[in-house]
Structure 1
């Protein structure tokens, strides 16, 4: 084979190999949305309502129940409080809240089980649609934040707060509300 052809063929193969092995990181995520919304209903995933999310710094109400996050598929830590103020219920994540940034579609949900992690299978800890209600996309991966709970959600039906990746049905962490 001609040396020039061999040179260009080798250069082409090496170029394709290098480009194929390069890892590209995309920056688009639902957490970057400017106006987070709440989606919830008494029957999960159907007839969802939308309402603006509220930052935690402006809220201080009576704590009804609280819990501490336990990691599932990804490290998740911090405390969550179910509060009421002026007849409005909210779920607050404290300033020590932190979870992994590896989820493309992280949401905060209320779940019927008091043992979300124990009642599901590793490594992803998948959830059944009839067992939860979605409150809102996660506003940020760490720090204090608050999510209003629509009036049509019966809080006595839900025993845990969960950070969940909707796209891959993967539970990042859960907290039993006591």
Structure 2
């Protein structure tokens, strides 16, 4: 094999790894039970705030809710989420406003990482770390760490 062919094969392999173009055609779906499904009582889980997703780098829709549970733990719930698949997607609470024109700005300030995006569609829950300071956080973002872009974000009044 010539040197040019070897370089081309390596380049194609790296390009496929980095961009994962097949993810344009894939999606995943997950439906977890809502922490609010329990009977709403004075001591039951309560909704702290919610917001609707706006599209950024990719079409994204759905609703984000922050829920306070009776045991003092907090959960971010994404409901009826619909977004694109992509490499290295994460869910963050951030101090940036939702819907920024600069899709790459969400990692410039403070954020709380809640983990990998569980699925591109459906309703799922993310535990908020007990030691997370939510003061000054203004949005939830679906963040592509590989390309430093927001797929979508929702405003939250925390």
Provide TM-score, normalisation by structure 1.
0.63
**1:117 equivalenced with 2:99 (yes/no):** yes
Distance change in 2, residues 1:139/1:131 (3 Å): same
Q: Which residue of 2 aligns with 1:89?
A: 74
Identify, as 1 or 2, the structure richer in strand. Answer: 2
Q: Which residue of 2 aligns with 1:169?
A: 148
1:1-178 maps to which residues of 2 (within 5 A)?
56-57=32-33, 59-60=35-36, 61-86=45-70, 87-94=72-79, 96-101=80-85, 103-113=86-96, 115-118=97-100, 120-121=101-102, 124-178=103-157
Length, aligned pairs only? 127
What is the DSSP-based 3-state SS (H/G/I as helix, E as strand, rest coil) of the residue aligned with 1:144? strand
Unmatched tracts of structure 1, length 5 or more: 1-19, 33-54
Are the equivalent residues in 2 in contact too, given 1:109–1:132 (CA < 8 A)?
yes
Provide TM-score, normalisation by structure 2.
0.70
Runs of 4+ aligned structure 1 residues displaced above 4 Å come to: 23-27
Q: Deviations over 1:30-55 (max 9, x none)?
A: x99xxxxxxxxxxxxxxxxxxxxxx7
Q: Deviations over 1:124-146 (max 9, x none)?
A: 43433442121110000010100
